[in-house]
Amino acid sequence: MSRVISVVSSKGGACKTTTAVCLAAEAARRGQRVVVIDADGPQHHATEWLRGGVNLRAIDVVIGPSSLPAAVQSGIERYDTVIIDIMGADTATLSLAVANADLVIIPATNSPLDVDGVERTVARLRQVEAELAAKGIAGPIVHRVLLSRTEPETTLYRLIKTRLTENALPLFDAEIRRRVVYQEAAFVGSAPPYMADARAAAECAALYDEAVAVLTTVAAEVA
Ligand SMILES: Nc1ncnc2c1ncn2[C@@H]1O[C@H](COP(=O)(O)OP(=O)(O)OP(=O)(O)O)[C@@H](O)[C@H]1O
Ligand SMILES: [Mg+2]
């Protein structure tokens, strides 16, 4: 069964592309057929990253599809894992990415502005959910917040985590720390699952495992 994972935030710079590429790399490393739908307007950073080296060539890319739902449908027919990367703004693309996902990942960095971005994104997600429910398409949109580029030793990190928890936002246990290897990865067209930094590789693996566990639980509940 194919999995569609959308990585979204209404805020720019929240680590969407990094999350999307790392998840895609981890899925590919585990033998999955993977496509990344790069729906990030004119930037297409994910495409540049995936095509910038040799390690990630097994991951297919669809650039700027004219119809996101059609691209997702075609992805489901041909791949095990479909990952969507979008721009950081509250656009129609965000709503489509949320509506067409089995799991929505909302990354947030060590920044109060990103907390705001998470809250706005979840508000939009709830609205899309209500619109789908009104059309008779039942079921909540499964989502998790991913703390990324974290600095766990800082007070700010603890404040942000407390605020998200108090607001009942569902956090992944997995977190991605601030590490230069993530930036290096984009520069050389690779990703931690294929690089020497074991701690970053373990973070990507833990995130992937948890995402799969969430999807498996949801699938079992629906069945
Ligand atoms: N774990 C990390 N450690 C250090 N730097 C990181 C980490 N994750 C992402 N970055 C850096 O943070 C910046 C923003 O990340 P990224 O491009 O993934 O965000 P984005 O949400 O896709 O941004 P945009 O809204 O512009 O598409 C980039 O320079 C990236 O290399
Ligand atoms: Mg991006």
Pick the atom of ligand 1 nearest to 86's CA: 27
The mean predicted confidence, pLDDT, of the chain is: 96
Residue 102, domain extent:
3-222
> What does the alpha-carbon distance between residue 146 and residue 212 come to, in Å, rounded to a whole number?
14
CATH number of the domain enclosing 89: 3.40.50.300
pLDDT in tens, the chain (223 residues): 899 999 999 999 999 999 999 999 999 999 999 999 999 988 999 999 999 999 999 999 999 999 999 999 999 999 999 999 999 999 999 999 999 999 999 999 988 899 999 999 999 999 999 999 999 987 799 999 999 999 999 999 999 999 999 999 999 999 999 999 999 999 999 999 999 999 999 999 999 999 999 999 988 887 7
Ligand 1 contact via 200 beta carbon (within 6 Å) = no
Q: Read off the pTM.
A: 0.98
The residue whose C-alpha atom lies closest to atom 25 belonging to ligand 1 is 12
Of residues 157, 153, 163, 142, the one with CA closest to residue 213: 142
Pick from 15, 84, 120, 175 the residue to mutate for probing ligand 1's pocket: most ligand atoms within 8 Å of its CB. 15
Centre of ligand 1 from the C-alpha of residue 7, in Å: 12
> What does the alpha-carbon distance between residue 169 and residue 85 come to, in Å, rounded to a whole number?
21
Residue 43 in tokens: 């930037």
> What does the alpha-carbon distance between residue 96 and residue 219 come to, in Å, rounded to a whole number?
21
| Total number of domains in the chain | 1
Using the structure block, give the residue that is written with the tokens 């999995």.
Answer: 3
